[in-house]
Every structure is written in C-alpha cells, then in structure tokens.
Amino acid sequence: MPHFDLHCHTTCSDGKLSPQGLINLALESNITHLAITDHDTVAAHRQLKPIDNLGLKLISGIELSSQWSKIGIHIVGLNININSDAILKAEAHLNAVRMQRLERIAYKLEKRGFNNILEGACGEAGDNQVGRPHIARYMVKQGMVNSVSAAFDKYLGAGKVGDVSSLWPALADTVQWINEAGGVAVIAHPGRYKLTRSKRIRMIEDFKDAGGQALEVCTGNQPHGMSEDLANICERYELMASVGSDFHSPDYPWVKLGRYPRLPKKCRPVWESLGLF
C-alpha cells in the first residue's frame, strides 16, 4: 500500500538529516513516495543520485517563502523541474532576501554584545542554506546561551530582538514560479498561520485565483479536527489535498517522518495529478 510524505526537510535548509540520511529513514519507515521540500532551495535534489529499485519514489520539491497580507505563508512546490529558469530565479531571489534578514538580525544582536553572529552562522551552515537555527547553534557553541531553544526563547523568537521580518515575495509570484517550473503549488500547513478562519479562507481564495492547486490537508502535529475542516475547504474550492509530516529532525518526537492524520475520504489526493500511478 502506498505511503506518502510530501513535506520534509534536510540539512540543505533547517533539517537535521543529510539528504541521504533522510532517504535512509524513509526506507526504514516504509515510505513509498517522498518529496524533499527544503526551504527555498532544491540543493538536496541536486546532491542525490537516482534511486533505483529501492521501493522509494523521490519527488522533486521545494517549500517557498512568501507573504500574504503581511503574513508569512509557505508554499510547497511538488514535481517541479529543479533546473528550470523559474526555480533558479526563486532560489536566487529568496537567498538574497534571507541574507538581508540575517544581516539585520546580526546587527541587532551585536548591539546587545554578541559578536561575529553572521560569520558564525555561515560557518555553522557550511555550503547549506543559512538561517536562524544556525545563529542559534553558533550562540550555543560560543556559550552565549545554553541551548538552541534558549536562543529562540530569549533572542530569536517572536517578539524578541532577533525577530526581523523579511520582504518575502507575494503569494501570487510564488505560485507563478512553481507553475512555470511545471509543478503543483500547495499551501503548506494552512492551519498553523495566525489567521482567523475567515482570513484563512480569503488567503486560500487568493491562492486559488493565482493558480494554486492544493492544500496540505494533513500534516504532522496538527490540531484535532483541522484536517476535516481543510478537506471541506478543498471540496468547496475544487482544490486537491496533500499530506506531509513537515519532518525536520529525529530529535523531535512530536513530528515523525510519514506520520500525519488520515486523509479524509472526500479529498482528491494531489498524487493523482503527479503521474505516480
């Protein structure tokens, strides 16, 4: 029986496992179809060799940062052409935005007496995409904080000195990049954004108008009843349904690879359009 996970991360963005390490875990977890969807990069897919005769279908993917009504929204692109002009443009643009954000965070932290933040974070990231988790890890190594969670609680989390907003691209532009890359655009974890239900529906309407095709109806660590509500919204707006754990690390017991609520029967699964069967 097919077992899908269409949303997960590697060390190429903010995950704990290497691309090959994630593949190995997927095989151990009896996953048959896996989409690696790192934040704003497809580096993992460029690193991996073709998977032959292992019982695992690897689907090209990405999770793009965007904004709607000044709120950060993540859009997953599935079955994209990773070498398309649209994806190359998206990666370059979002990398520049991320670096600008990190420079502002580093400047604010250095005013608080924390030195070499940007250089240290880039050192932690190596050749991979750099982000706030790398700042946190550097701060731990330098004895500035006791743990990564403490770094976010005290300095990097919402409302803290390092909480710096980014000028992410508009939702419609993000959907267009995915469509131009031949992929399927999916709103990641729609229930997690700080939106009222009416605003969430308005966001989904704008997504649909921009050419978006699916919602992530089932994801890891999801509130009870959310998948049923999202299934009803999919039916109302003729959107497909996707599933994914949003796995980042085996150290997080509340989110495991391949684990998420059961997809409601009324949904039209996104894999029916991906040519997987």
Whole-Å CA distances, 239 to 81, 95, 176, 216, 223: 22, 30, 17, 10, 21
Which band of pLDDT confidence, cut at 50, 70 and 90, is reported for residue 50?
confident
Pairing of β 71-78 and β 184-187: antiparallel
Q: Which of 39, 46, 95, 90 is nearest to 62 (CA)?
A: 39
**pLDDT digit string, tens, across residues 173-206:** 999 999 999 999 999 999 999 899 999 999 999 9
Structure-token pair, residue 217 = 């109806």
Does pLDDT of 85 surpass 80?
yes
pTM: 0.92
> What residue has token string 């950060």?
72
Q: Given CA atoms 256, 237, 91, 83 in this order, what sign does their dihedral have?
A: positive
How far is the C-alpha of 269 from the C-alpha of 200, rounded, in Å?
21
Give the model's pLDDT for residue 53. Answer: 64
CA distances (Å), 119 to each of 87, 114, 161, in order?
A: 27, 12, 19
pLDDT in tens, 103-153: 999 999 999 999 999 999 999 988 888 889 899 999 999 999 999 999 999
58: phi then psi, degrees, rounded to nearest 5: -95, 125
Name 46's bridge partners: none
User: So what's the pLDDT on residue 252?
Assistant: 86
70: left (phi over 0), alpha (psi -120 to 50) or beta: left
Domains with residue ranges and CATH for the chain: 4-91+167-273 (3.20.20.140), 98-156 (1.10.150.650)
Q: State the distance between the two ends of the chain, measured CA to CA, in whole angstroms.
A: 12
Say if residue 157's pLDDT is above 80.
yes
Mean pLDDT of the chain: 94
Neighbours of 193 (CB within 10 A): 16
Q: Judge whether residue 223 has pLDDT over 90.
A: no
d(CA 269, CA 109): 45
* Residue 164 binned pLDDT confidence (cut-offs 50, 70, 90): confident
Q: Where are the alpha helices (DSSP H) in the chain?
A: 19-28, 43-47, 85-111, 117-125, 132-141, 148-151, 171-180, 197-209, 226-237
In sequence order, the β-bridge partners of residue 219 are: 244
Say yes or no to pLDDT of 277 above 60.
Answer: no
